[in-house]
Structure 1
Amino acid sequence: MLPFPYVILDLETTGGTPLHDRIIEIALIRFEEGMESERWETLVNPGMSIPPFITHLTGISNGMVKDAPSFGDIAHRLYSFLDGAVLAAHNVRFDYGFLKNEYRRMGALLQHKVLCTARLSRKLYPQHKGHGLDAIVQRHGLKTEARHRAMGDVELVAAYLGMARRELGAREVQEAATVLLKDPSLPAGLDASILEQIPDRPGVYFFYGKNALPLYIGKSVTLRSRVMSHFSGDHASFSDMRIAQEVERVEWMETAGELGALLLESRLIKEHHPIHNKRLRRSRTLFSLKLGDGSHEAQLVNIVTEEDIHPEVFG
């Protein structure tokens, strides 16, 4: 169906933070020239307790993974399935972020081309609003007895791609996938063309979701590079992953320099209280140091508040 080898993969994990949580199940199907060539699945001992809500969601218990191999035990075999293929997954940044962190713990580097099948759905079926796996299952009338188990979800993604090929034609699916592979791994709702308009200059950027309130406000001396870094597909925290998954619109404001970006970011965060700016959204005063400009002043160095900060301050 696609003009290159690809692997549809799904993971089940102990939680949503790649830096701290671990993989408990892996499943994949490898395709060569559009035909299934191999499939593989395994439980994984995460070396930590599986939270009850994960067991409730997936049906995977601590007892089931007690004698399962660790990720280190299966890492080489997993890589043999991925080698030379595009890694495809629904919201691929989640799975790819976990895999990269698991390999990093072993001192290894995983670098693969990735294809997000949620973004592919949005490109192929722009008339529909929902592109999560549950929405796709309902839209195409797909069936499974193993939702939220790794192989069950892999088979659903494979079935949806097969349905798209029959409904739209293999050529349209191939062309859409090829275009996505040339783009950065962006969220499904974000227009890639907007990123080309962002200057690599100092300023403040805004991430928006489905409404008019910003999800996140950030600053940088190189706006475009910083915005792109949010969509690297290698997320170390749950917050980074949530931001990348939810953003649907990006806006920005240029400033004269780094200090201007710092002050503007601080003020805007206090005004808008973005949900993902936990550190700076609390109301607090920004201080700096200013050299005294005359002998009549008692101090050579004065503490100034945010309202009086100008470019000649230090610190």
Structure 2
Amino acid sequence: MLPCYVLLDLETTGGNPVHDRITEIAAVRVEHGVEVARWSTLVNPGVHVSGFIEQLTGISNAMVASAPRFAEVAPELLALLDGAVLVAHNVRFDHGFLLNELSRLDVTLRVKTLCTVRLSRLLYPQFKGHGLDAIMQRHGLTSAARHRAMGDVEVMQSWLTLAQTELGAEHVAGLAQRLLQGSAALPPQLDTNITDIPDTPGVYLFFGEGALPLYIGKSVKLRSRVMSHFQAAGRNAREMRIAQEIRRIEWVETAGELGALLLEARLVKARQPVHNRQLRREGDLCAWRLEANPNSRPLLTLVRGSELAPEQFGALYGPYRSKSQAQSQLRELAETQGLCLQALGLESGKGRCFGHQIGRCKGVCCGEEAPERHHLRLQLALAGNKLQVWPFAGKVGVREHNARTGRTDIHLFDQWCHLATVHSDDDLHEALHSRTEPLAFNLDTYRLALKHLLVPGHDKLKILEFPVSTAIQ
């Protein structure tokens, strides 16, 4: 099949390579079609073997109690793998466990991998099931030690021999080489052809069995980013869960990174993927409004909803994703700058505040500091969080062009809100002149617009002010 490969199988205490441990290893090394080495050993995992695992594999706590630890057998295993391709059924599982076990020994495993589940799907596309039990059933293979490491290795070995006899050694070798050149790390149940995904900017969506996405991400190189998820599955518990659940991938190309960021933020909020931790729906977005009168009490009022309007940004500071976050950050600011919690509205009462009693307030509450001076210090302390007033007379477009693909996107903004992304003159004209719903402020879009419209270094993106021209140049 391949010039040199090692058929390998592991038994473990569970399915998570980050937390679970190996209990048995079996390996058969094949060079130029000839078996040259065969090795198996029980491994003391150093953790309890559950009753379920014992029932499934037949490996008990008593059996592994006197077995060597992984660190003791690692040199022999690495010698077997030296210069060979690691071949396993659902190779991500075995490879992930080896990566984690060896990393605990400060050893980096560098080995090419081949998944026989994916090879079976290529060799026998007419069949639906490609698990080891399904392969055994359809080809009439048997094993006296199913779910033991060497028993499963021998099933794989018998199946490969049978496939070469039925389909031809050259055909099997050709498909194995194709898998070896880029897809061996992919989840075996993935239906999407990874080579169909372009290495261009855009957004990708991972789906399981249902209609809702598992995860939504963006990248300037879609295929490379998608592959990185699967390559990290052996080292990261969340990536492992995604790899176990994924069935198909969808993607949307964009002209560049800004378009991908905007689309990702919109899709995550609309679709709420279970594995996305950021860019979630902003249920309680708020900001502080500073009163102009230094004698007002409180000096700051928390505003949210329709009051959090871009037209008011000249007097607003934030924004914050929740009331608790806003109050917490204001308390920290007050402590470091010697501001009065009572004047800010974070502490009730009249007269000398508690902060002044312990030396943290300069006394605006009891007449020792002028209200105007305290107000000025408060403005300076908040300056870094001041929301920016929209600096344009009306709507603007950010033109993003990809010379490699020829794609041009224009992202329309008004009052820090993303109105639309268009690709043609007609779409641009319609977006500029159509009636829209009242603009809803969005923190992620605000930060993106602020970065790409005002921050130096993004001058490669052309900014169009309207009505100046409605044509895509």
The yes-or-no answer on 1:187 pairing with 2:187 is yes
Alignment of 1:73-92 (within 5 A): 73-92=72-91
Judge conservation of contact 1:96–1:233 (CA < 8 Å) in 2: no
1:190: how far off? 3.3
Deviations 1:25-80 (A, max 9, x none): 10011112212221111111111112222112111111111111011001001111
The whole-number CA distance in structure 1 between the counterparts of 2:234 and 2:209 is 22
Alpha-carbon distance, 1:242 to partner: 3.5
- Look up the match of 2:460: none
Cα gap change, 1:96/1:294 in structure 2, threshold over 3 Å: closer, same or farther?
Answer: closer
Distance 1:290 1:92 in 2: 53
Aligned to 2:441: 308
> When the two structures are superposed, what TM-score results if normalisation uses the length of structure 2?
0.59
| 8 Å Cα contact 2:219/2:260 also seen in 1 | yes
CA shift, 1:97, in A, is 1.0
Contact in 2 for aligned 1:274/1:281 (Cα 8 Å): no
Q: Residues 130 and 73 of structure 1: is their aligned pair in 2 closer, same or farther, counting only changes over 3 Å?
A: same
The equivalent of 2:375 in structure 1 is none
Residue 277 of structure 2 is matched in structure 1 by 279
Distance change in 2, residues 1:285/1:66 (3 Å): same
Question: Aligned partner of 2:116: which letter?
Answer: T
1:99-114 alignment, distance < 5 Å: 99-114=98-113
CA apart distance, 1:290: 11
SS in 1 for 2:315: coil
Question: Structure 1 pair 78/261, CA: closer, same or farther in 2 (3 Å)?
Answer: same
Is the 1:16–1:238 contact (alpha carbons within 8 Å) kept by the matching residues of 2? Answer: no
Mapped to 2, the partners of 1:266 and 1:220 lie a distance apart of: 13
Identity of aligned residues (%): 53
1:136-147 paired onto structure 2 within 5 Å: 136-147=135-146
What are the ranges of 5 or more consecutive residues in structure 2 without an aligned counterpart?
Answer: 291-308, 322-416, 418-439, 452-473
Taking the aligned partners of 2:279 and 2:104, their CA distance within structure 1 comes to 33
| Larger mean Cα displacement after TM superposition, 220-229 or 32-41 | 220-229
- 1:241-268, Cα deviation, whole Å (9 max, x unpaired): 2422443432223457667655644543
Structure 2 partner of 1:207: 206
Of the structure 1 ranges 253-262 and 141-150, higher mean CA displacement relative to structure 2 is found in: 253-262
Q: Gaps spanning 5+ residues in structure 1: where? A: none
Please give the residue correspondences for 1:1-315 in structure 2 after superposition, counting only pairs within 5 Å: 2-185=1-184, 186-188=186-188, 189-195=191-197, 197-199=198-200, 201=201, 203-232=202-231, 235-254=234-253, 261=260, 264-275=263-274, 277=275, 279=277, 284-285=282-283, 287=285, 299=315, 301-303=317-319, 307-309=440-442, 310=446, 311-313=448-450
| Closer/same/farther in 2, CA of residues 179 and 294 from structure 1, 3 Å limit | closer
Task: Tell me by how many angstroms 1:133 deviates.
Answer: 1.1
Q: Aligned letter for 1:301?
A: Y
Residue identity matched to 1:191: N
Deviating beyond 6 angstroms after TM superposition, the runs of 4 or more aligned structure 1 residues are 288-298
Distance of 1:31 and 1:60 partners within structure 2: 27
The match for 2:347 is none
Provide, for residues 132-185 of structure 1, a one-character-per-residue CA deviation record: whole Å limited to 9, x for no partner. Answer: 111111111111121111111111111111110111111111111111111232
The number of aligned residues is: 309
Give the conservation status (yes or no) of the 8 Å contact 1:96–1:234.
no
TM-score by length of 1: 0.86
Distance in 2, Cα, partners of 1:8 & 1:233 = 22
Distance in structure 1 (CA, Å) of the matches to 2:154 and 2:310: 76
1:111, distance to aligned residue in structure 2 (A): 0.6
Distance 1:258 1:198 in 2: 13
> Shift in Å at residue 271 of structure 1?
3.7
Q: The residue matched to 1:240 in structure 2 has which SS?
A: helix
Query: Cα 1:228–1:29, aligned 2, differ >3 Å: closer, same or farther?
Result: same
Per-residue deviation, 1:273: 4.2
SS at match of 1:206: strand
User: 2: CA distance between counterparts of 1:271 and 1:253?
Assistant: 15
**Which deviates further from its counterpart, 31-40 or 290-299?**
290-299
Q: Note closer, same or farther for the CA distance 1:73–1:280 as it changes in structure 2 (3 Å cut).
A: same
Higher RCO structure (Cα 8 Å, ≥6 apart): 1
